[in-house]
Amino acid sequence: MNYSFSNEKFVKIKGSVSFNSIPVTNYLVHVNFDDIDSNTLAFEKEKFDLWLPANRKAKVSFIKEGFVTLHMIVDASFIPSFAYKKKQTIEFNVKMIKIENFNKVHLKPFCIAHFKASENKFIVSYSTKKTKKFKAPFPTPYSTFVGAKPINKYLPTVAKINKDHTRKNHPYFQLVQGALFANLNYSIFNEKISTANSYLDRLTDIDKNAWGNIKPFDTPEYAAIILKTIHNKKTKDTLFALGTWVGTSQLLFQSFTSNSKIIIHGKKLSYTLKYYKEYDLNEEQKLIVEALRNIAIMYDELVRKYMTAMKKKSPLKLVKNELFLQIKYENMKIYNTIIQ
């Protein structure tokens, strides 16, 4: 079925509505003309089809409960007389977004259609401005180890990994790589080049496209430079970044000499999870992120206690603090879940 808002059928807009490639049904299309008059239509199926008149500017909004209202603009304000000789069609698809993922960019039209007289047709332009992808502000694990100064150079590192977790379609695919990358950094920190290269080999086995072009390390100095480059690129994936935090923490919480660096390490997690929007995560990944959010809550409390103690000039001894020990235990559970 198609709809018309006047006797004059000049431009047809048509397409379909979906969410994550799944058809969306039973939604509304609200059309506002020149901010003067408007109408709302209900569509039972994913496909929509309606006519708009000439010499009007229409704001077409797609409305569905639980989703962000998205809109586009059809600017047919000034149509030359020769254009009426043929009907016009504008076709596009609408990809809905869950309401919890609302961003200010969604207040703007996702596309604008305007009539181009020289071509006697409507041209559709899509917004090219992309939202800045969130990047976790974690330093390289190597830098964290340098700052926290663990005195034990022989902490147990990853020996075995559940092979299922290294499959590309597994929920822990990026998390596992992040944890291994943390162990690689720990090896470089301790100047164990052969061990670091064995971790690089394991990462290459997991994802050759991501790691296969990295040459084996020959010196700690060279490795530290390369690790920073790898880190900046890979932590654009927040799951990988969270995996590095978990893996770094698993080692760091066992041996450190700088309390302040441990506090900063936790504050970075709290900041990350405050601004991280969880797009397209499956249930297993959501459980990991939720567990890390619980750690972040505990860390916030630990930071408050730490700062209060500093003001009283009686600093906390983290290695004996019950809240810190609970954080250490909860992180170990997450780590084991990812690895095992």
Domains, in order of start, for the chain: 3-126 (2.60.40.1120), 141-339 (no CATH)
State the chain's mean pLDDT as an integer.
88
Low-confidence ranges of the chain (pLDDT < 70): 1-8, 127-134, 278-279
Q: 0.85 cut: is pTM over it?
A: no
Q: What is the pLDDT of residue 256?
A: 87
Residue 174, token pair as written in the block: 């990026």
Q: What is the pLDDT of residue 60?
A: 95
Rounded to an integer, what distance in angstroms lies between the CA atom of residue 186 and that of residue 184?
5
Residue written as token pair 């235990």: 329
47-52/3-4 β-pairing? parallel
Q: Do strands 111-116 and 22-23 pair parallel, antiparallel, or not at all (unpaired)?
A: unpaired
Determine how many CB atoms are found less than 10 A away from the CB of residue 125: 11
Comparing C-alpha atoms, which of 267, 245, 264, 228 is closest to residue 143?
Answer: 228
Bridge partners, 40 (sequence order): 30
Output the pLDDT for position 4.
54
Q: Return the bridge partners of 73, or none.
A: 59, 112
User: What are the φ/ψ torsions at residue 75 (nearest 5 degrees)?
Assistant: -100, 95
Q: How long a stretch of residues is the chain?
A: 340
Instruction: Phi first, then psi: give them for residue 281, nearest 5 degrees.
Output: -90, 145
pLDDT given at position 7: 54
CA distance 176 to 242: 10
* Residues 179/246, Cβ–Cβ less than 8 Å: yes
Q: Which helix (H) or strand (E) segment is 121 a member of? A: strand 121-126
The tokens for 317 are 């001894």
Bridge-based pairing of strands 111-116 and 70-76 is parallel
Q: CA torsion sign, 203 to 166 to 209 to 138?
A: negative
